[in-house]
Amino acid sequence: MRVILLGAPGAGKGTQAQFIMEEYGIPQISTGDMLRAAIKNGTELGKKVKAVMDSGALVSDDIIIALVKERIAENDCGNGFLFDGFPRTIPQAEALRDAGVAIDHIVEIAVEDEEIVKRMSGRRVHSESGRTYHVIFNPPKEEGKDDVTGEPLVQRADDEEETVRKRLGVYHDQTAPLVAFYQELGGDTRYSRIEGVGSVADIKQQVLDALKPVS
């Protein structure tokens, strides 16, 4: 199964991706996590994208498309995958289509901007795995520590309020047009829109229900 999770920064894509991975045994392909790993490892790619990411702008389509093409050619993608944070512009979606990569489901998680600004200040992440928590809404078992490894959680460099507002602007300008692009796609691709406000467990149920085969 090939799935795209579509939604604004902070809508809960990464949080819900964990549940879809567990349920369907498909890998999560988060371009944001891949880029953050490149920065952490000091690679050439990381050096190129760090300033752009910290500012809240988008990395160029060329870089992202090359990164994704390489990733989906890997062995673990044979049974499908889950895109989180990709595609994010019309040219990225067109590149995917032109490469013949058919998508089974698009799941849009819709959340208002002001709710997102509130969420981001409380976000904490395990940088190695990308696992995401919230100090109040989705706390780790032990304060400040990842549930799986026990390693410390950190705040993301782009989670400052001003940068979050910039990212939301970028989302509305460059990514939101994908909603119409995919709704109009038709064919075998299903499109589901979920209101992303409510408990993490409640949203999880709605996401998994949306992905169930229609009988």
Active-site residues, by number, are 13, 88, 123, 156, 167
Q: Which does 93 bind (CB under 5 to 8 A by kind): Zn ion, ligand AP5, none?
A: none
Which residue, 3 or 132, is less far from ligand AP5 as judged by CB? 132
Burial of 76-105, coded b for 16+ CB within 10 Å and e otherwise, reads eeeeebbbbbbbbbeebbebbeeeeeebeb
Residue showing tokens 């782009």: 158
Contacts (CB under 6 A) with ligand AP5, residues 61-120: 64, 85-86, 88, 92, 119
The pattern of x and - marking residues 146 through 175 that bind ligand AP5 according to CB under 6 A reads ------------x--------x--------
Would you count residue 178 as binding ligand AP5 (CB under 6 A)?
no
Residue 108's SS3 state is strand
* H-type alpha helices, 41-80: 44-55, 61-72
What Å distances lie between residue 100 and 90, 95, 114, 138, 157, CA to CA?
16, 9, 37, 38, 35
Would you count residue 140 as binding ligand AP5 (CB under 6 A)?
no
- Known binding residue 58? Answer is yes
10: left (phi over 0), alpha (psi -120 to 50) or beta: left
Strand ranges (DSSP E) for 113-200? 123-125, 132-134, 190-195
- Known binding residue 15? Answer is yes
Q: For ligand AP5, which residue of 3, 35, 95, 207 counts as binding (CB under 6 A)?
A: 35
Would you count residue 13 as binding ligand AP5 (CB under 6 A)?
yes
What's the rounded Cα separation, in Å, for the pair 175 and 171? 5
- Known binding residue 155? Answer is no
Would you count residue 14 as binding Zn ion (CB under 5 A)?
yes
Find the shortest distance in angstroms from Cβ 189 to ligand AP5: 19
Q: Are 136 and 143 in contact (CB under 8 A)?
A: no
Q: Which one, of 104, 80, 83, lies nearest residue 26 by Cα?
A: 80
Q: Which one, of 177, 155, 169, 161, lies nearest residue 57 by Cα?
A: 169
Stretch that binds Zn ion, among 13-21, 55-63, 110-118, 158-166 (CB under 5 A): 13-21
Residue numbering of the annotated binding site: 10-15, 31, 36, 57-59, 85-88, 92, 123, 132-133, 156, 167, 198
Positions touching ligand AP5 (CB under 6 A) are: 7, 9-15, 31-32, 35, 52-53, 56-59, 64, 85-86, 88, 92, 119, 122-123, 132-134, 137-138, 158, 167, 198, 200, 203
What is the contact surface with Zn ion in residues (CB under 5 A)? 14
